[in-house]
Structures are given as C-alpha cells and as structure tokens.
Structure 1
Amino acid sequence: MNAIIGIVIVIIVLYLSVVIVQQGNVAVITVFGKYQRIMTPGLNFKIPFIEYVFRTISIQNRSAELQFQAITNDQANVYFKAMLLYTVTDQQEESIKNVAFKFIDQANFMQALVRSIEGSIRSFVATKRQAEILSLRTEIVLDVKENLDHILLGWGYHLIDLQINDITFDEEIIRSMAKVVASSNSRAAAENEGQALLITKTKAAEAEGNYIRIQAEAEREASRLRGQGLAQFREEVAKGMAVAAKEMEKANLDSSLILFSLWTESLKHFAEEGKGNVIFLDGSVEGMDRTMKQMMAMHQRDANEKLSAKK
C-alpha cells in the first residue's frame, strides 16, 4: 500500500515538474513571486511548488487594427484606419523580462501602444493642412516609427510596420475636394485644348507661309524663264529679219516689205486668235505709213546700237 502511495506521489511530482513550451513561445519562471529564469520551446523541468510559470509569452509577430481621428492645422477632421504589426524585440532575458513585467496584462500593453501611436499621428497631422495629408502616408509612418521605437524597446517590443490603409475626411470636405479636382481637370483640359489649337494654327500659318514662299519663288522663276524666252524670241526674230533684209537687198527689193509682211501677219493673228475682244487699229494709208516709219526707226536704232557696241 505504501509502495502504491509512493508511486502516485512520484508520478504527481514528475507531472508537476514537467513543463512543455510550445514553439514560438517562451515561459517566464518565478520563485516566490520573483523572476527566476526563462524556458525555451520544448520539454523543460521545474521544481514543483517552488517554481511557478508566471506567464507564457509569444515571440511571434502580432497585428492589430486601429481606427482613430485627428485634426489638421486648418481644423479639418481626418479619419484613419491602420494596421499595426509588432513583435517581441528578441529572446534575450532582459527583453523577455520587460515584456513580462512592464504591464499587468496584455490588454494594458495594447491600450498604451495604441494610444501612443494615435498621439504620435495626431501631433504630426496637427502641423499639416488637409490638402497635404493624402500625400503624406509614408512620412506619417516614418514619423511614428521614429517617435515610438525607443519607447517600445523599453517595453521589450519592436514596431515592424504600420500600414495606413484608409484616410477619409468629413463628407463636406470630400465634396469640396472633388469640386477642386474637377475644376483643376477642367482647367488642364482647357489649357491642353488651347495648346492644341495654338499648335494647329501655328502649323497652318507655317504651311501657308511656306506655300506663299514657294509660289513666289515659282512665279519668279517662271517670270525669269518667260523673260529669257522673250529675249531669245526677239533675238531670233532680229536674226530672221536681218537674213530677210539681206535677201531683199540681193533681189534689189525694198526692205520695208518685210515690215509690211509683219504688219499683215499681225492683223491675221488678231483675227484668228481673237476671243471677242475689240481691238482698234488704224488701217488707213497714213496710219500704216506712220507705223512703218516707227518700225523702221526702231530697226535703225537697234542697228546703230549694235554698230556702236562693235566699235
């Protein structure tokens, strides 16, 4: 009977001596209420009735959802929704002691952590205007980390990340911001349309200028060619008339017949090529004689000029 009682006592003592710590956790052992040591994951042993598992602390990452309000420098209400990711700093004995004994329980730690983050963000937002807040997510997170890292280190924790998932304003502010964006877009569209119209008009003016320049150059070239052609025509006519005059002299005929022939050919050309235009010509003998004399005088002048040029 005593043997059975002894075996039972031994079993109870062994049962009370064995402590199994789950992976990702650390057990804090106290002796008569005073910190003694920590137990790492796996099978551990303690002294029954003397050593006591004060708290099992998870060293895994933890997350929490936050919702709070802040006021900007221009008195606009801003509503934040954020996700907090934190963990125990490390498995060193000093860090575990801070986690185990700094706060009475986990709820009090979470309250202090959340309020510290809210206070840091509110103090940052209070220095900014509402128009700046939406573009300052990264700056807000960096400011919170800078302010809280040394505080959390004293509590045995480390802030891994703070993600601000949503930033909203009062409904009236949202409507006014939408109007500002709409008006800004309208102004940008008008400016773009004006620039496009300016480019179109400029290109059209450049094209018109190029067209006028090319047309003027073509007209100038055409005039030059026409002048050259007319000069060559006159030169050939003069050569032909000179040859005809020599032939007339060889035949002992008056060279004025050549001019008379040109006169009659001109009259024929007027009659054949006329399009209904009225041309007045002096067809009298006196008029023809006057015209012949003028033509002979012009011929004589040209001859004298050529003779002078040769001298």
Structure 2
Amino acid sequence: MPIYMYPVIVIGFFVFLSIFFIVKQQTAAVIERFGRYQSIRHSGLQLKIPLMDRIAGKLSLKIQQLDVIVETKTLDDVFVKLKVSVQYKVIKDKVYDAFYKLDYPHDQITSYVFDVVRAEVPKMRLDDVFVKKDDIAIAVKTELNDAMMDYGYDIIKTLVTDIDPDAQVKAAMNRINAADREKTAAQYEGDAQRILIVEKAKAEAESKRLQGQGIADQRREIARGLEESVEVLNRVGINSQEASALIVVTQHYDTLQSLGEETNSNLILLPNSPQVGSNMLNDMVASFTASNQIGEAMKKAQKDKDNE
C-alpha cells in the first residue's frame, strides 16, 4: 500500500467514528445541520452525517434543584431572608423550547422567585411568614409553572426551606420566648405551691378532727367506766360521794405508779407526800358534804317560798 494512502485511511477512520455517538439515559441531544435545527436524539447509540450534522447541545431530563435566597421586608418592617428551593425538569416533549427559547433557565427561575416572594411577604407579619410558608411556596410554584411551561420546563415542587430574620430581631424573639417560658414556669410553680398548701391544710384539719373525735371517744369511755365503777361500789354499800372520792384517789395512785415506771421521765408531781391521797379524799368528802348542805338549804328555801 502506498505511503500516501495512510493519511486517507486515518481520516476515513475518524470520519467513520464521527458518524456514531452515544446519548446517556435521561439526556436529550439537539442535532443541527449546517447550523439549523435538525432533530432531538434520546438515550442510546445514534447516527449523524459527518461534517454536516453536529451536536448543538445536550439537556438533562432529570429533576434538578435550584436554591434561591431572597431578602425582603415583612409588614411589621422586619428584614428577613427566605431560602426557596425549586425542583424542576425539562419536559421531554419540549426539549426544543427548553434549548432554543431560554439560554439561562436558572436566572429566569430566580427572577420569578424574587418577584413572587417580594410580592407576598410584605403583606405578612413576621409570625405569619413562619406560619404561612407553605402558602408562599404554593404561590411561587403557581407563578413559575405559568411562566416556565412555555419554555419547556416543568416545576415539580417549591419549598421554603429556611426563614432567617435579622440577627437583632432573632435575639429579641429568643428573649421574648425565654420570658414567656419563665412566666409559665413561675405560674406552674405557684400553682404547685398553692396545691401543696391547700392539701397540707386539709390534712391538718382532718388530723385535728380525728384527734378531737379520739379525745371525745376517750372521755366518753372514761365517763362510762366511772359510771360503772360507781354502780359497783354502790352495790357494796358505798354511796356515790365516797365512791367518787375513792375513784379519784385510785387514779391518783395509778398516776404515781405509771410515773414510777418511766425511768427516763423528768416529770415531778407536786405535792408528792404520802398524806396527799388522804387529804385529797377528805377535801373531796368535805366539798361533797358542803355541796349537799347547800343544795338542801336551797330546796328548803324554795319550798318555803312556794308555801307562802
């Protein structure tokens, strides 16, 4: 083979290779012939005429995301930054429009996001911006869909992913929230203390009631026991006055005995002579006698008065 044929073979080989090209999955290739649109090629092995056709460009058909940060002012004059995430894709049947009608889709989408956000947020107060962020996202999506559909782009979803007020406003909001929480905590603590006081008072009242009831029951039983003791003594010939005195003296000595059993007791009973019991009995008998005499005298005086 002549040497001059080698360059021809090499050139022919590269020309042959340029006939074939590969388009990746979820990608569309735009073919132009002599600078004029020829066709759209999708994924797979494709053919083109060498030196006549060329690949003008490729567009991804995957869902893409564009994050746009917009700074604007709310109705209550607070500057806030919103981060809006726009998910979009090229419509498969409108690759021509997406490639030829719009050079910079990111700039176009950003412009519409700015326009919508700066139209919606100034109508809201700062608190409403946080509450109604989904409404803002819906408004952005509606506007973008209407505008970008003509350019071959479909807006899948828009999200307001971040709301960042001015630093001073954020600090003030944190202080307000902290003060509200401290106020709520103080109210709960006050309620808890009040409940404790009320319950303690109820418990003390119940304790006093039960204690009084116990003392009343004790005295009732003591009185019943004394009554039975007097009846027993009366049956053996001891009158009521003597029986009462005897019971008092007996209780006195019982008290002395119980005090003597307490080794660690510091109580001293005064007077504490052996004649105490006898003196007490004599005093009680004398008092009972005097009381009976006074009672008889009063009955006689009343009887004489009635006879007159």
How large is the RMSD of aligned CA atoms in angstroms? 4.2
Matched residues in 2 for 1:16 and 1:267: separation? 135
Please point out which of 40, 43, 55 is paired with 2:42: 40
Q: 1:147 to 1:195 in 2, by over 3 A?
A: farther
Q: Kindly report which structure 2 residues correspond to 1:74-153, keeping only aligned pairs within 5 A, or say none.
A: 74-89=76-91, 91=92, 94-103=93-102, 105=103, 108-153=104-149
Matched residues in 2 for 1:75 and 1:47: separation? 63
Cα distance, 1:21 vs structure 2: 1.8
Please point out which of 182, 189, 194 is paired with 1:186: 182
* CA deviation map 1:65-123 (0-9, x unaligned): 3222011111211112344433224x3xx2222312221x2xx2111101112222222
2:64 counterpart of 1:66: no
Answer yes or no: is the 8 Å Cα contact 1:260–1:292 preserved in 2.
no
Q: Which amino acid aligns with 1:157?
A: Y
TM-score, normalised relative to structure 1:
0.69
Cα distance, 1:126 vs structure 2: 1.8
Unaligned runs of 5+ in 1: 245-257, 299-311
Q: 1:78 to 1:229 in 2, by over 3 A?
A: same
Please point out which of 230, 240, 247 is paired with 1:234: 230
Aligned to 2:289: 291
Cα distance, 1:9 vs structure 2: 6.9
Cα distance, 1:40 vs structure 2: 1.4
Q: Secondary structure at the match of 1:75?
A: coil
Aligned to 1:55: 57
* CA deviation map 1:274-304 (0-9, x unaligned): 83399998979xx96x929949x99xxxxxx
Matched residues in 2 for 1:188 and 1:75: separation? 29
Q: Which amino acid aligns with 1:171?
A: A
Aligned to 2:167: 171
The more displaced of 215-224 and 112-121 is 215-224
Q: Secondary structure at the match of 1:47?
A: coil
Matched residues in 2 for 1:209 and 1:54: separation? 96
Matched residues in 2 for 1:210 and 1:152: separation? 79
The more displaced of 153-162 and 182-191 is 153-162
Matched residues in 1 for 2:246 and 2:7: separation? 161
Aligned to 2:26: 24
The more displaced of 1-10 and 44-53 is 1-10
Cα distance, 1:202 vs structure 2: 1.6
Q: 1:57 to 1:261 in 2, by over 3 A?
A: closer
Answer yes or no: is the 8 Å Cα contact 2:234–2:243 preserved in 1.
no
Matched residues in 2 for 1:100 and 1:268: separation? 124
Q: 1:234 to 1:130 in 2, by over 3 A?
A: same
Please point out which of 241, 247, 271 is paired with 1:276: 271
Matched residues in 1 for 2:5 and 2:244: separation? 166
Q: 1:209 to 1:159 in 2, by over 3 A?
A: farther
Q: Which amino acid aligns with 1:86?
A: Y
Cα distance, 1:129 vs structure 2: 0.6
Matched residues in 2 for 1:44 and 1:70: separation? 49
Matched residues in 2 for 1:210 and 1:293: separation? 42
Q: Which amino acid aligns with 1:275?
A: L
- Alignment coverage as a number of residue pairs: 274
Aligned to 1:208: 204
Answer yes or no: is the 8 Å Cα contact 1:80–1:166 preserved in 2.
yes
Matched residues in 2 for 1:22 and 1:264: separation? 124
Unaligned runs of 5+ in 2: 257-268, 297-308
Percent identity of equivalent pairs: 23
Please point out which of 139, 153, 160 is paired with 1:157: 153
Matched residues in 2 for 1:190 and 1:78: separation? 33
Q: 1:219 to 1:3 in 2, by over 3 A?
A: same
Matched residues in 2 for 1:211 and 1:267: separation? 31
Cα distance, 1:38 vs structure 2: 1.5
TM-score, normalised relative to structure 2:
0.70
